[in-house]
Amino acid sequence: ERGDLLVFVSGSAEIASVCQCARDYATQTGRWVILPLHSSLSVGEQDRVFDLAPPGVRKCIVATNIAETSITIDGVRFVVDSGKVKQMSFDPKEKVRRLQEFWISQASGEQRKGRAGRTGPGVCYRLYSEADFQAFSPYPIAEIQRVALDSLVLQMKSMELGDPREFGFIEPPARSSIENAITYLREQGALDNAEQLTPMGELLARLPVDVVIGKMLVLACALGALEPVLTIAAALSVQNPLVRGSAPNPNPAHVTSRKPLESAEGDPVTLLNLFNEWLQVKTQRAGVSRRWCRRRGLEEQRLHEITDLRQQFQTLLTERGLVRVRADPVRDGRERRRRHGERRELNRLRQQQEGQRLGRRKVLSLTHTLGGEDNSSGEEGGHGQPEPSLQEVRFKLRHDAAELGARCGARGDWDQSLLSLLVAHGLYPQVALPDPNNPSRRDSEQIFHTKTKQGVLMHPNSVFYSDPSLLHTHSERERKGSRGGGEASHHLVLFLSLLETNKPYLITCVRTPALQTLLLLSRSLDTDGGCTRLVADGWLEVKVAEDPEMALQVLSAAVRLRERWGRALGQCLTRSHADSHQRG
């Protein structure tokens, strides 16, 4: 019987295992093309499931629940349902997101069955019994019961809906999740001790972004470092542009190609460097940026998303009165005519390519089964300069690459230590400490400890995974050469999130000097009698200096700096508040 096969499994690791076994069989028969489908694949790899199989060949698509409701694949006649799914949940006690495997719900089982024969008759094979199915929960767990509630609580406070603990939710979340969200918002300075919105909280509630991202943007406006932080904030808001594929560890060739653009300050600044370099490449002829991204293991679609999102952030901040309206560049008549003609030609190309995309489906080759690279996408077919892709045409219609590149600057135009501090201010108090024994461990076995969870690993996509010496060898060398600096040479690791899959990982990390960071960012400081040692936020102990007089000078300077920082931020918030009242 004709028709393609769709197999539902729980996660990317399971997909890799099934695909490997299936490819062995497909290679022997020459009758199958094996295609993985999950959210970590590049957009191009995901789109291949919609292409046609060669005559006499079937597609076998091995997918997560991304294929359950999000997309419809024509030609699928047979479905195999493992009955398993991996879902993200948030542990408010350990402050970690967990990707765990569960049995699906009955509703999900029916959805998967419905994927068979959407355009004709089909068959669903369930790898579980009828009794198992009857034991499944009727519906999936409500999202409000398994995610962090910071943004929700912030919006409720802004809308004056009363105490979130007493709110009449249709499906109430755990009380501990609400308490955790309130504590987190207090730590971020969005709520005061009376659980009322602070000026920062009022502004963050009016920015439809995550609290951490909003805080970074506000601080960047206050300190005049908006352009690079726009990029960093956008990069942290989209899926990581580093292509992971089905391999558990990064491709060594990709890591080597990215090495010159990596920053010792951490992942956010590395993403900034990659984006700025991509913009410079983008000004060259069509197709160059695609090759540049492939050599470095980058998904160009994510870089386009960063470009669009940073523009949206710029508009939001302008509307909130945090930045002035940027004047359009002055162009003479000839330049305006040239730009108008270029846009007209780009619109023609866009309409032409969108029509071709709807009217033509590509045919897959069997190289997928053999583990090779499929060239059916036709990105750079033919001779000479390739025609711009639809993605590139849309980019050129929305943005001027040269102008955007000039605003963003080249690598090294911004003080990377200042950028790290701004990012750290947004991330704090999400702090991890390197284990003292890390220098004697292998690179892949470096251990870190947070306030709520011990024994956490660095994610393989991080700069610090491929070069952990940035966190310990350099620090050891500084300490040996220091004179009474104490732990001033030690580094803290601040992270965007904790993710636990088969192991707990730190996601998107930045390093900052321990003493300076704690003196500037901690919410509470306790010192001994001579002020030579202090404890920040009740758990981080650090030595200021051996000499009490020197220690007192350091603490006094920190107090003055915090006051100036607070004034700069206050002026920024006041300007935004006044602007919002004028608009009202």
58 lies in some domain: yes
Tell me the average pLDDT of the chain.
83
Among candidate residues 497, 424, 535, the one with its CA nearest the CA of residue 237: 497
**Whether residue 361 is found in the same domain as residue 394:** yes
* Number of domains composing the chain: 4
154 lies in some domain: yes
- Report yes or no: 245 and 39 within 8 Å, Cβ to Cβ: no
Band (pLDDT 50/70/90 cuts) for residue 330 is low
Band (pLDDT 50/70/90 cuts) for residue 57 is very high
**Whether residue 446 is found in the same domain as residue 522:** yes
Domain boundary among 118, 141, 164: 141
Amino acid, single-letter form, for residue 503: K
Name the phi and psi angles at 83, rounded to 5: 80, 10
pLDDT of the residue at 544: 84
For the segment 368-393, the average pLDDT, to the nearest whole number, is: 51
164 lies in some domain: yes
396 lies in some domain: yes
Residue 165 Cα distances to 91, 193, 209, 414, 522, angstroms: 18, 16, 23, 44, 27
**Whether residue 232 is found in the same domain as residue 351:** yes
505 lies in some domain: yes
- Model confidence pLDDT, tens digit, residues 92-103: 888 899 999 999
Q: Please give the structure tokens belonging to residue 552.
A: 């007192």
Band (pLDDT 50/70/90 cuts) for residue 292 is very high
**Whether residue 409 is found in the same domain as residue 260:** yes
Position 275 pLDDT exceeds 90: yes
**Whether residue 402 is found in the same domain as residue 537:** no
- Model confidence pLDDT, tens digit, residues 147-199: 999 999 999 999 999 999 999 999 999 999 999 999 999 989 899 999 999 98
Domain boundary among 124, 141, 158: 141
Band (pLDDT 50/70/90 cuts) for residue 284 is confident
Position 379 pLDDT exceeds 50: no
Higher pLDDT, 543 or 351: 543
Proportion of the chain above pLDDT 70, given as a percent: 82
Q: Side by side, which strands form the sheet with 32-37?
A: 32-37, 58-63, 4-8, 76-81, 123-126
Higher pLDDT, 356 or 125: 125
**Whether residue 456 is found in the same domain as residue 336:** no
Q: What is the CATH number of the domain that holds 187?
A: 1.10.10
**Whether residue 160 is found in the same domain as residue 124:** no
The residue behind tokens 């605003």 is 407
Higher pLDDT, 456 or 548: 456
pLDDT of the residue at 383: 43
Band (pLDDT 50/70/90 cuts) for residue 577 is low
Band (pLDDT 50/70/90 cuts) for residue 488 is very low
pLDDT of the residue at 101: 94
377 lies in some domain: no
Within a 10 A sphere around the Cβ of 289, how many other Cβ atoms? 25
**Whether residue 132 is found in the same domain as residue 165:** no
**Whether residue 359 is found in the same domain as residue 451:** no
**Which residues constitute the domain of residue 472?**
428-574
Proportion of the chain above pLDDT 90, given as a percent: 44
Q: What is the CATH number of the domain that holds 107?
A: 3.40.50.300
**Whether residue 569 is found in the same domain as residue 440:** yes
Position 581 pLDDT exceeds 60: no
